Structure 1
């Protein structure tokens, strides 16, 4: 049960995606500050359209594959730009942050390589991120950095965008050894997708999902900017055949509760990649446990949304969720994303900090000499490259067996149709289930699994709403709701999301009590924090988010009752 709503103010929690406002703008005077703007069209802009833009702006860069151009102009010029013939929209240069918060065994990718012999060879994965370190042996950009392997990083591009001056606002610096200037995030992601694992004292221990695949890296800055992202998309699509690019990985996003807009330039770029036969993977976001918190770029119908999972096959707490019963707001599949060990870039101090937590209690944590080359981190940033690497395995197998590449739609269907069901979770939360690379590759070889996905379920979403509070430590304020469960139901999810959004959840707590049709208490969420006992049931005390949830597997038929209780220091929650 859920009251569906669209929140407008993101809350920053831990390793969370966030949207940062573009650089300052000014008046239309000659001294007005310049900024980069994205102008979208129906198709890549023609020369005549670019000439018109040059007449009303300080600098222009037209893309050849993405239906957009970048212009440098003061903010006062935006209304004029919007009124030009053929212009679909004008967008600010947003910034995005990474989705950070022995996994190849959990997804059975290791078995694909060791038992079936597929490695992703002949397929290239484009990684649009903060950058990739080609001096690392697992991602070597030149023979001098490899350990007896072919070059992995066949192209490494630093995209220098947001040049708010009267020059070309987009500059490509190709053939870079390393574009990962500080965080190490992009290198970690690339290593998960396709790293060789040769830097380890035990060669292959930290091998990526598709170790035979090649990588093209796009360094778009530590705060990934929209202009740079579009430039990277455009370059990847234009060079698809040269490098064999079949999948683009994006481990970043605009923040939870950002309204979906199919006209957004990034979504239009994803459309262009889809039309070019390239799958696009996004991390679902790290705003779990809250409902309706997906990375909106990942929910685009032509993207693949990767939710974050634990290595035991359960959902990670941080993984964002969609909307119950929605055909649009849900992950595609769930993939390993918690405590993932991968490449540590030579400049990766951010990943070193993440390792301090990601390695705790992690049986795969790097030790000894390996700590110089590998680090652990968590987030759907890590889940996305598991999916991208699996797509490389699928495409290699399909091409070798059937003589053709699968279409992006066939690939997405295959991933969904071969995912392992996750008992106790519904589609809005985990998508089709847990990524199974082994089953997906076997299906690609057999030529099956590419038809439309149908989970065979129907969903009965019954909203409830109310207000509780104020209350003291001992609760005195409640409201309740009843709902009917039909015979044969597979699962029952009961959830509560509350506001106002400024709430500090640790001090503003609600609890759920769920009662069976016979009146007995099924369970309450007070202080609930035992993922092993009930993976999809928890308290805000455990997650520090204004959301609580209970799941019943195979619930008995009849009328169930939920009671929402004002908890510690509740001050009027709705």
Structure 2
């Protein structure tokens, strides 16, 4: 998540200073300083035969797969798994053997066992692996799944689509202003994201377009879906049972070959009373369409968000889901990083959408945490679905990974969708659909309870050039609203000759411009509901000129200051040579503000030397030995504020 403090170099080392504020800096090194292992993804009824091990740099094992396998064998022996045991139903189980898998892009290695282990066996093995001094971290290679969306019933689907985007008006409440206007179905829209207004500022295009990578089930051909980059994508699924291919291995192209579980071997492998057999979901096509692949203003069907961006589909989910090891490789590849055995991505993404996940707590040391950190360093914003379990997001991965922008779901009334995960780990919410009338947790399912987009009509394998549409509800649908908006933000900046925002800057803008829900949230859902227009507007807002800065006299407070949400008011204090200390404070009044400070030019949320950001209006920055000259103070409204005092003061050395 975004750092709370940033300290920049000021005009060279000679102007270095101490910047004191009550804030904390987020770790960016992965935190791989101590050996530990993560058992949080292990379920009581789960079975595991794949483990991801990060070795200490310079260790003998790190450079030698044979030694890795030997070390795994020692751990199996110590865990009591290298002897025949009595298993379920009284059957004898052979001793467990170890095998080397492959090296991941994060530098960790995949090791496998000859049979699946139950939770206790897996925990014992991981503990023994971690006891080796050469090991830094151990995690199970967990199967993740598309976030379990709720499908709209067939009777709510639009009639045969006809003539620009004729069903946009009736069905896509989620892209419009939350003004309370009546929809075609009689509901009042208080939950829209103002994408329609953002289109007046950007459409995702700049040159060849911002690239959005959608890591999901892949994409299918459809009369209303742009699959321009499908061939440039990649199928990262290595296990043939998940990919549906005859052999293990990856394959060029981001096409969705289907993920049905209605036939063998998948019916036996991955269905039960809680997860019944299902036809192919075409989940990736729906998500990609929302983010921008849906052709827009073409007289057919529905609209996508960043419709002039380029959507890069990457298949990481197949029959029964997809493994962390494959998903983490795909994240790095999507951002332009190198993955052994795969040609480098010629279309690096600035936005990566992950509408997938599963149980478990993600740390910076885990494979997903490391992959997201590497993608962030390459400038890619990684947007992740919070999950549809109605639970604390802290218990789900990759939603809880550091560096991810984590998205909850709301409905047309602006209520938190009853299924949406929640908690302190949520950054913001976006339209995901409430399913039932009034966004309640039961009752009559309504058209305005879903997010509508293109979908394939095949039950197993895809139908070529399909023309069907369907509604889904879930955080899977909320997430591409944010991803599409990020693409609009970045494209708008490029179109105006501005440099791209960093992932931390993107998150800061998304949170500062999020709208307050009309219905008070029953659980924490972050900063509010996505406001696409406000986010794009702030992303391209020009810094106030020097002449617009309000002067501050030394030690004299300017009282009664006010501003709107997202407003940026700049002040200036002139510091003489020889000053020993500079203090800038805001206090009093009501609302919530952030304080930025910069030397020589107006501070902005994207360009500053110091920052103070706490709930409320009390902010403070203190500099020792400040450089002489003009210091600019920016007070930015996280919410509307009024009656706030702004004061700057300096002391002179005697």
Task: Give the TM-score of the pair, scaled to structure 1.
Answer: 0.59
Conservation of the 8 A alpha-carbon contact between 1:180 and 1:345: no
Deviation at 1:118, TM superposition (A): 2.8
Confirm or deny: 8 A CA contact 1:251 1:381 kept in the other structure. yes
Q: Does 1:116 align with 2:201?
A: yes
Q: 1:154, CA displacement in angstroms? A: 5.4
State the distance in 1 between where 2:50 and 2:377 align. 27
Give the secondary-structure state (helix, strand or coil) at the position aligned to 2:350.
strand
Max radius of gyration: which structure? 2
Pairwise mapping of residues 25-424 of structure 1 onto structure 2 (< 5 A)? 35-41=49-55, 48=63, 50=65, 52-53=67-68, 58-64=99-105, 66-74=106-114, 81-83=129-131, 86-99=134-147, 100-101=149-150, 102=172, 103-105=174-176, 106-113=192-199, 115-121=200-206, 122-133=209-220, 135-141=221-227, 151-153=228-230, 155-162=232-239, 171-181=249-259, 182-197=280-295, 202-203=299-300, 205-220=301-316, 221-222=318-319, 223-237=321-335, 238=337, 242-255=346-359, 258-288=360-390, 295-322=396-423, 329-338=424-433, 339-347=450-458, 372-424=467-519
Q: CA offsets per residue over residues 43-86 of structure 1, 9 Å max, x none? A: 8999725564366653332133x242222344697567535554
The structure-2 alpha-carbon separation of the partners of 1:449 and 1:136, relative to structure 1 and needing over 3 Å to count, comes to farther
Q: Distance in 2 between matches of 1:58 and 1:373?
A: 45
Distance in 2 of aligned mates of 1:453 and 1:393: 28
Deviation at 1:341, TM superposition (A): 0.5
- Cα distance in structure 2, aligned partners of 1:211 and 1:197: 6
Describe the shift of the 1:137–1:344 C-alpha distance in structure 2 as closer, same or farther (beyond 3 A).
Answer: same
| Partner deviation per Cα, 1:220-253 (whole Å, 9 max, x = no partner) | 2242322221231232232687213011111122
**Deviation (angstroms), 1:172:** 2.2
Task: Give the direction of change, closer, same or farther, for the CA distance of 1:129–1:371 in structure 2 (3 Å limit).
Answer: closer
**Shift in Å, 1:377:** 0.5
Whether the 8 Å CA contact 1:158–1:179 is kept in 2: the answer is: no
Please list every run of at least 4 consecutive aligned residues from structure 1 whose deviation after the TM superposition is greater than 6 angstroms: 18-23, 42-47, 349-352
Separation (CA, whole Å) in 1 of partners of 2:291 and 2:302: 11
**Cα distance between partner residues in 2 of 1:456 and 1:310:** 27
Indicate if the aligned counterparts of 1:21 and 1:94 stay in contact, CA closer than 8 A.
no
Q: Distance in 1 between matches of 2:384 and 2:69?
A: 34
Q: 1:293 to 1:423 in 2, by over 3 A?
A: farther
Unaligned runs of 5+ in 1: 1-17, 26-34, 142-150, 323-328, 353-369, 459-489, 491-574
Any conservation in 1 of the 2:294–2:453 contact (CA below 8 Å)?
no
Taking a change above 3 Å as real, the CA distance of residues 208 and 127 of structure 1, as seen in their structure-2 partners, is: same
Contact map agreement 1:22 1:93 (CA 8 A) in 2:
no
In structure 2, the CA distance between the partners of 1:117 and 1:251, relative to structure 1 (3 Å rule), is: closer
Q: Distance in 1 between matches of 2:56 and 2:486?
A: 29
What is the Cα deviation at residue 271 of structure 1?
Answer: 1.6
Conserved? CA contact 1:183–1:351, under 8 Å: no
Question: What is the DSSP-based 3-state SS (H/G/I as helix, E as strand, rest coil) of the residue aligned with 1:218?
Answer: strand
Confirm or deny: 8 A CA contact 2:202 2:491 kept in the other structure: no
Q: How far does the alpha carbon of each residue in 1:87-111 deviate from its partner, in whole angstroms, 9 at most, with x for none?
A: 3222222122322131222212232
Gaps of 5+ in 2: 1-40, 72-97, 151-171, 177-191, 242-246, 260-279, 339-343, 434-449, 543-603, 618-638, 640-654
Match of residue 10 from structure 2: none
Distance 1:446 1:123 in 2: 19
Calculate the aligned-residue CA RMSD, in Å: 3.8
Give distance in 1, aligned partners of 2:372 and 2:45.
22
Alignment coverage as a number of residue pairs:
389
Counterparts of 1:312 and 1:39 in 2: how far apart (Å)?
46
**C-alpha contact 1:281 1:305 (8 A) present in aligned 2:** yes
Asked whether the 8 Å contact 1:320–1:429 carries over to 2, the reply is: no
Please, what TM-score do these two structures have when normalized by structure 2?
A: 0.53
1:165-205 Cα offsets, whole Å, 9 max, x none, are xxxx973201254444421111111111112336x9943x5
Q: Residues 292 and 382 from structure 1, CA distance in 2 versus in 1: closer, same or farther, beyond 3 angstroms? A: closer
State the partner residue of 1:518. none
Residues 398 and 43 (structure 1), Cα distance of their counterparts in 2 relative to 1, 3 Å cut = farther
The secondary structure found in structure 1 opposite 2:135 is coil
Does residue 443 (structure 1) correspond to residue 538 (structure 2)? The answer is yes
